[in-house]
């Protein structure tokens, strides 16, 4: 399977260097490295970007600057305008997931474009895009900042990447920690017998005619546990300890 | 189908008010409103939180403060510890998507817990959780800040919410609510305290310097159970019975 190149992140007229740094940091968390800046308000490089990038300096060092959005996306085949606002532009509106699937299916290079911190993308910017990407958001409180919008799109893109075996990005999956496997049932059975024996000795099963029902309830509770061999060994110790010693010391 | 309540967001020992505000803002974007703070370093309320919340003042105004994590999640049935680091704690490790599906399927209230800005969750915090949630991230650059972690979890939760239409249709379906729901965490906590008290009296914690590690192992085993209120009541009886009576009759 041909693997599509990762999307370019284009910040259009970003205002604060700090936000450019934060966007770089957000990108690199999910394996995106290509940052392009269109007419950054305070020029470039910007001394406020580095500290905010928190180590994603490589992304900043390789960022490219353009005068216009058209130049910034000149080599891209598909352009996605990220905006939460409805616009008078007739474009397909995609979820981040649908856009991610399209990016991964695209042979060429895609771009996600993001507007300035306050004003967002202008109508002319959106007009240049092939589709709009909108993050489904609380209609009563839609307040994503620039880096948050970048990180959500980057995350969703990475989630839809083909697996490493297929040539996709190598993100660390949750470690497959060898969980302590659930013990075979026979071990739980021995534990229950141990518990019942000590409980019986302690006078737990009163009245005797309720013993069978009580045992069933106990067994049901203990069968919920999913305890491992080590857990069960510990519980033997617990029961023995409680049953062995008189309370007074 | 019963719709699970939205998860509670718990920040454990957060340092900067600004980050608490940003977390609130991140939450409200995706409809999460219940924020709990465990021992915030600079007390609460914190004047730096409001400006960073960018309008999510309602979330801050209703935030609750607790001395301990156990108290903060006392009414929660399932607790997810968010961490990118591998730990010596044997817990299931879930992706954000798997956790979101579990939260939506849970009858009770779930909690996502987040550690302090630099240090993250401590081992004792993680021991209290039922599962670990890890965002799959660039292994060469894992640098999510607190609000970014919150917004990713909140976004993924919102993406997996059953639609209103699904909720309507499902009303005719058999209820998926378990007959005997998992007890709130506070009940398990009291049971553990009871067990530890009696074990201590019986001389279980030998040598004393291993007490802390032993307690953590015990807590981890008991957190696997998913016991109901009635199960826990029965276990109190078990412990009391074992602890009360000498073996000889």
DSSP for A30-49 reads TT---EEEES-TT-SS-TTH
Q: What is the pLDDT of residues A186-230, one digit of tens each?
A: 787 788 888 888 888 888 888 888 888 888 788 778 877 777 888
Q: Any chain A CB within 8 A of the CB of B56? A: yes
β partners of residue A114:
A11
What is the pLDDT averaged over residues A160-176? Answer: 56
Cα–Cα distance, B171 to B2 (Å, whole number): 8
Identify any residues that bridge with A79 across adjacent strands, giving them in sequence order.
A111
Cα separation of A81 and A115, whole Å? 9
pLDDT at B247: 45
> Regarding the domain delimited by B8-170, which CATH topology (the fold level of the hierarchy) does it fall under?
Alpha/beta knot (3.40.1280)
- Encode pLDDT of A106-141 as tens digits: 878 899 999 999 889 988 888 888 889 999 888 888
Q: Do A247 and B242 touch (CB under 8 A)?
A: no
Q: Which of B26, B158, B241 lies nearest to residue A148, judging by beta carbons? A: B26
**Residue B114 burial (C-beta neighbours within 10 Å; 0-12, 13-18, 19+):** buried
Look at residue B163 in the predicted model and tell me its pLDDT.
62
| B-chain residue closest to A142, CA distance | B29
Segment (H or E) for B37: strand B35-38
User: What pLDDT does residue A164 have?
Assistant: 52
Let me know if B159 is exposed, middle or buried by CB neighbors in 10 A (0-12, 13-18, 19+). Answer: middle
Task: Tell me what pLDDT residue A179 has.
Answer: 54
Give the residue from chain B lying closest to A152, CA to CA: B152
User: Quick check: A174 contacting B, CB < 8 Å?
Assistant: yes
Residue ranges of B 212-241 with Cβ closer than 8 A to chain A:
217-218, 221, 224-227, 230-231, 234-235, 237-239, 241
Local confidence band at A72 (pLDDT 50, 70, 90 cut-offs): very high
Burial class (CB in 10 A: 0-12, 13-18, 19+), B47: exposed
Nearest chain B residue (CA) to A178 = B90
For the beta sheet containing B8-12, the strands, ordered from the edge strand earlier in sequence to the opposite edge, are: B64-66, B35-38, B8-12, B110-114, B78-82, B131-133, B93-94
CB A145 within 8 A of CB A117: yes
**DSSP characters over A206-239:** -SGGGHHHHHHHHHHHHHTS--BHHHHHHHHHHH
Rounded to a whole number of angstroms, the distance from the CA of B118 to the nearest CA of chain A is 12
- Contact pairs from chain A to chain B, CB under 8 Å: 172
- What's the order of all strands across the beta sheet hosting A64-66? A64-66, A35-38, A8-12, A110-114, A78-82, A131-133, A93-94
Helix runs in A62-206, H state only:
69-72, 96-105, 123-128, 146-159, 185-201
The pLDDT tens digits of the residues spanning A218-246 come to 877 887 777 788 888 888 888 888 876 54
Per-residue pLDDT of chain B (249 residues; tens, 9 = 90+): 457 899 999 999 999 999 999 999 999 999 999 999 999 999 999 999 999 999 999 999 999 999 999 999 999 989 999 986 555 667 888 999 999 999 998 878 999 999 999 889 998 898 888 899 999 999 888 889 999 999 999 999 999 887 644 432 222 333 333 456 778 888 888 888 888 888 888 888 888 888 888 888 888 888 877 788 888 888 888 888 887 654 444
Q: For A182, name the nearest residue in chain B, comparing CA atoms only.
A: B224
Alpha helix ranges (H) inside A73-165: 96-105, 123-128, 146-159
Residues of B with CB below 8 A from A175's CB?
86, 93, 134
pLDDT of A25-54, one tens digit each? 999 999 999 999 999 999 999 999 999 999
114-133 in chain B: CB under 8 A from chain A: 132
User: Nearest 5 degrees, angle CA B181-CA B183-CA B188?
Assistant: 155
What is the fold, at CATH topology level, of the domain defined by A8-166?
Answer: Alpha/beta knot (3.40.1280)
pLDDT (average), residues A136-165: 87
Q: What are phi and psi of A201, to 5 degrees?
A: -60, -30
Tell me how crowded residue A127 is: count the other CB atoms within 10 A of its CB: 14
Structure tokens at A5: 């190149």
More confident residue, A178 or B137: B137
């Amino acid at each position: 399977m041909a693997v599509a190149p990762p999307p370019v992140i284009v910040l259009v007229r970003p205002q604060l260097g700090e936000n450019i740094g934060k966007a770089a940091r957000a990108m690199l968390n999910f394996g995106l490295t290509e940052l392009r800046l269109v007419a950054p308000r305070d020029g470039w490089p910007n001394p406020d970007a580095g500290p905010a990038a928190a180590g994603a300096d490589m992304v900043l060092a390789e960022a490219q600057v353009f005068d216009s959005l058209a130049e910034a996306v000149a080599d891209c085949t598909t352009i996605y305008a990220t905006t939460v606002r409805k616009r008078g532009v007739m474009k397909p509106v995609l979820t981040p997931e649908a856009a991610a699937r399209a990016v991964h299916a695209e042979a060429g290079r895609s771009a996600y474009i993001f507007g300035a911190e306050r004003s967002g993308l202008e109508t002319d910017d959106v007009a240049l895009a092939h589709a709009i990407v909108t993050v489904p958001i609380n209609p009563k409180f839609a307040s994503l900042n620039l880096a948050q919008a970048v990180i959500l799109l980057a995350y969703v893109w990475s989630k839809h990447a083909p697996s490493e075996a297929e040539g996709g990005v190598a993100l660390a999956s949750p470690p497959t920690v060898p969980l302590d496997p659930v013990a075979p049932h026979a071990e739980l059975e021995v534990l229950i017998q141990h518990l019942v024996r000590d409980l019986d000795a302690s006078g737990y099963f009163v009245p005797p005619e309720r013993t069978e029902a009580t045992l069933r309830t106990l067994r049901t509770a203990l069968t919920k546990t999913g305890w491992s061999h080590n857990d069960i060994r510990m519980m033997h110790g617990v029961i023995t300890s409680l049953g062995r010693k008189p309370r007074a010391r």
